[in-house]
A and B are shown apart, each in its own frame.
Chain A
Amino acid sequence: EVQLLDSGGGLVQPGGSLRLSCAASGFTFSSNAMSWVRQAPGKGLEWVSGIFGGGNNPWYADSVKGRFIVSRDNSKNMVYLQMNSLRAEDTAVYYCARFRGSGSSYAYSFDYWGQGTLVTVSS
């Protein structure tokens, strides 16, 4: 059974940093691209970042580019999101999600999701 367990959320001041973690199990982790998606309170879904199975060429939404860094450790089946220079508008539930798709990344969907971890940016 595929499982994704998100952790690391909390309250942080504007300008601060936080690292989210996602523990994966139940599938061949290194063969799958992974992603982070967030949802501000009462709002819709927003894709944040993605990383291929080999950890190469991560890509980001413009709203977080230059501030967030996604990484993975295939030996531990973990994916991380390092969030720096946090702003109030980064307040959201952050979900780790597995990309579904074996062809072009343009066709990717998100087939399994973690339970989410809440990040609150406030003074």
Chain B
Amino acid sequence: QSVLTQPPSVSGAPGQRVTISCTGSSSNIGAGYDVHWYQQHPGAAPKLLIYSNSNRPSGVPDRFSGSKSGTSASLAITGLQAEDEADYYCQSYDSSLNGYVFGTGTEVTVL
């Protein structure tokens, strides 16, 4: 059972903007630990999309952006494209569990 909660699904038309929330608690995001985001296409390994709350690895389009506030974080995708259809996971560290935790995952559908 994940300690980071995400909406099961979000959808948008091509070109639109969608956001995915990641809600934690005082032992993870609220404790100041960094939040990272991953994209996973069906049958493929996850890919790092955003690290340390708002940083993009080389090669990740600037359509993807991350933010963090309090006990929550968000991933925004602007200019939605068909290739963005995938599952997205947030990740942080939890001091109560003494380990890394992932969000419940969000399926993004491009209408």
In the complex with contacts A95-B45, A100-B51, A116-B45, A110-B91 CB distance below 8 A? yes
B36 beta carbon closer than 8 Å to chain A: yes
| Shortest Cβ gap from A27 to chain B (Å) | 14
The dominant DSSP class at the B interface is strand
Q: Contact between A44 and B100 (Cβ–Cβ < 8 Å)?
A: no
The answer to whether B45 and A115 touch across the interface, beta carbons within 8 angstroms, is yes
Q: How far is the CB of B3 from chain A (nearest CB, A)?
A: 11
- B91 — which chain A residues lie within 8 A by C-beta? 45, 109-110
A62 lies within 8 A of B51 (CB): no
Q: Does B61 contact A (CB under 8 A)?
A: no
Interface size of A as a range: 20 to 34
Task: Please report which residues of chain A, range 34-52, place their CB below 8 angstroms from some CB of chain B when the two chains form the complex.
Answer: 35, 37, 44-47, 50
A107, B48: Cβ atoms under 8 Å?
no
Given contacts A61-B99, A107-B33, contact A45 B51 (CB under 8 A): no
B51 CB → nearest A CB, Å: 4
A113 CB to closest chain B CB (Å) equals 4
Nearest-neighbour CB distance to chain A for B90, whole angstroms, equals 10
**What's the Cα separation between A114 and B48 when bound, in Å?**
13
The secondary structure that dominates the A interface is strand
A44 B105 Cβ-Cβ under 8 A: yes
Counting residue pairs across A and B whose Cβ atoms lie within 8 Å, the total is 61
The answer, yes or no, to whether B111 is at the interface (CB within 8 Å) is no
User: In the bound complex, what is the Cα–Cα distance between A92 and B105 (angstroms)?
Assistant: 16
How many whole Å from A67's CB to the nearest CB in chain B? 15
Nearest neighbor of B91 in chain A, beta-carbon distance: A109
Within A73-123, the residues touching B (CB, 8 Å) are 95, 100, 106-116
A35 to B48, CA, bound (A): 14
Q: Assess the B46–A110 pair: CB atoms within 8 A.
A: yes
Checking B45, B57, B89, B102 against A114 with a beta-carbon cut-off of 8 angstroms, the contacting residue is B45
Chain B 47-89, CB-CB to A under 8 Å as 1, else 0, gives 1100110000100000000000000000000000000000001
Give the interface of A toward B (CB within 8 A): 35, 37, 44-47, 50, 59-62, 95, 100, 106-116
